[in-house]
Amino acid sequence: MGLFLLRRLLTLIATLVAVSIVVFLVMNALPGDPALIVLGIDSTPEAQAALREKMGLNEPLALRYLHWAGAALTGDFGISHSFDVPVGRLIAERLPLTLPLAALATVATVTTAIALGVHAAARHGRLADWGVMALSQLGIAVPAFWLAILLVILFAVRLRWLPPGGFPGWDDPVAALRALVLPTVSLALVQSAILARVTRSSVLEVMRLDYARTARAKGLSRSAILRRHVLPNALIPIVTIIGMQIANLVTGTIVIENVFYLPGLGRLIFQSIANRDIFTVQALVMLFAAVVVVTNFLVDVAYALIDPRLKDRV
């Protein structure tokens, strides 16, 4: 286990370094002068030269990368040009929205999907199974931002039960949670559609195995078989898909924050594109990509915990 963890950890570090090089190269080496991008084409050559000096753009590319990556490791992502504050502080200010939203959406996705998937598998071939499968086929085809708009029309415009967007801050926890209901539901419904299908087929597969039949033969109840014998063994493909969906969740959070005008990281990245705030975009893209990579690492470790046979093969 120790050796496996060490090897996976080294791969993780190598991947993060590679990702940071890709992000840095795309944002810096492509034919676009960052000073020109920040200031716009109407700016004077003197102003561009001054900014280039200030941003350290006159140094060689490799040296700039090392400066950026080294500083980033200490949490220093440079100064945002549009907000004129450290990028790190901008990110820290917005985390209290994005993190709870992502966490709520993940919990809602996993519980909904496993409940629906197991329910469908337990009633294989019957109406409930057919209904769950049809709903999930639809759910996969629905864009999360459209579902969000439909929910706003129903619950905010028509019924006026929930706010259509915006975020009041955590000083009033009830109002804050109310503002997060529709964003969470729009993210979770679409994501759980895929996961419910995987759960169903994984549970069905395990239920066909000999030991599940033996458990039934020795007289265990249906729910006991599902809980004690089937679900733990069906978890591996489910965990794989949860890991793969983290990339979707990151993307989804960026989109949904923009649908609901939530002042989180997803909104910040779009403000930064509009403001040509290269350093902020660079830091946020790196952060989001790192979340995807680190989650995949955690999924690999989770595998080894669920199924010790796998740890030698990974």
Partner 1 sequence: MRWNAVVGGALVGLVAGVAALSLVWTPHDPAGIDVSRRFLPASPAHWLGTDQVGRDVASMLMAGAQSSIAVALLSVGLGASLGTALGLLAAARGGWVEEAVMRLSDLAFAFPALLFAIMLAAVFGPSLTNAVLAIAFIMVPIFARVSRASANAVWAREFVQAAIAAGRSRLGITIDHVLPNIAAVLMVQATIEFAVAILAEAALSYLGLGVQPPTPSWGRMLSEAQTLLYLAPQLAIWPGLCIMVAVLGFNLMGDGLRDATDPRLRGVGA
Q: Which residues of this protein are in contact with partner 1, per CB under 8 A?
A: 15, 18-19, 22-23, 26-27, 30, 32, 37, 133, 137-138, 140-143, 145-146, 149-150, 152-153, 156-157, 164, 197-198, 200-202, 204-205, 247-248, 250-251, 254-255, 258-259, 269-270, 272-273, 276, 278, 281-282, 285, 288-289, 292-293, 296
CB closer to partner 1, 2 vs 31: 31
The tokens of 171 are what?
């000083």
Token pair, residue 99, equals 């993190």
Q: Which residue has the tokens 């492509």?
A: 30
CA separation for the pair 162, 178 (Å, rounded) = 6
Among residues 134 and 177, whose Cβ is nearest to partner 1? 134
Nearer to partner 1, 146 or 170 (CB): 146
Residue 35 to residue 2: CA distance in whole angstroms? 47
CB of 218 to partner 1, least distance (A): 27
The rounded distance, in Å, linking the Cα atoms of 124 and 25 is 51
Considering the complex, state which of residue 75 and residue 143 has its C-beta at the smaller distance from partner 1: 143
Structural tokens at position 283: 């830091």
d(CA 62, CA 307): 42
Q: What is the CA 44 to chain-centroid distance, rounded?
A: 41
Q: What's the min distance (Å) between Cβ of 65 and partner 1?
A: 16
Report in angstroms how near the CB of residue 221 gets to partner 1 at its nearest: 26
Least gap, CB of 79 to partner 1 (angstroms): 17
Compute CA distances 217 → 72, 212, 227, 284, 287, whole Å: 59, 9, 16, 55, 52
Choice between 26 and 61, CB closer to partner 1 = 26
> Mapping DSSP to helix (H, G, I), strand (E, B) and coil, where does residue 271 land?
helix
**Coil vs helix vs strand at 218:** coil
What minimum distance in Å lies between the beta carbon of 98 and partner 1? 15
Choose between 43 and 137: whose C-beta lies nearer to partner 1: 137
Shortest distance (Å) from residue 224 CB to partner 1: 25
Question: Comparing C-alpha atoms, which of 28, 179, 2, 220 is closest to residue 96?
Answer: 179
CB nearer to partner 1: give 137 or 221. 137
Other C-beta atoms lying within 10 Å of the C-beta of residue 131? 14
Of 21 and 224, the one with the shorter C-beta distance to partner 1 is 21
Confirm if 28 and 55 have CB atoms less than 8 A apart.
Answer: no
Q: Nearest approach, Cβ of 216 to partner 1 (angstroms)?
A: 21
H helix intervals, the chain: 2-28, 34-39, 45-54, 61-73, 87-122, 127-141, 144-151, 173-207, 210-217, 222-224, 231-259, 265-274, 278-306
Phi and psi dihedrals of 86, rounded to 5? -60, 140
CB of 171 to partner 1, least distance (A): 28
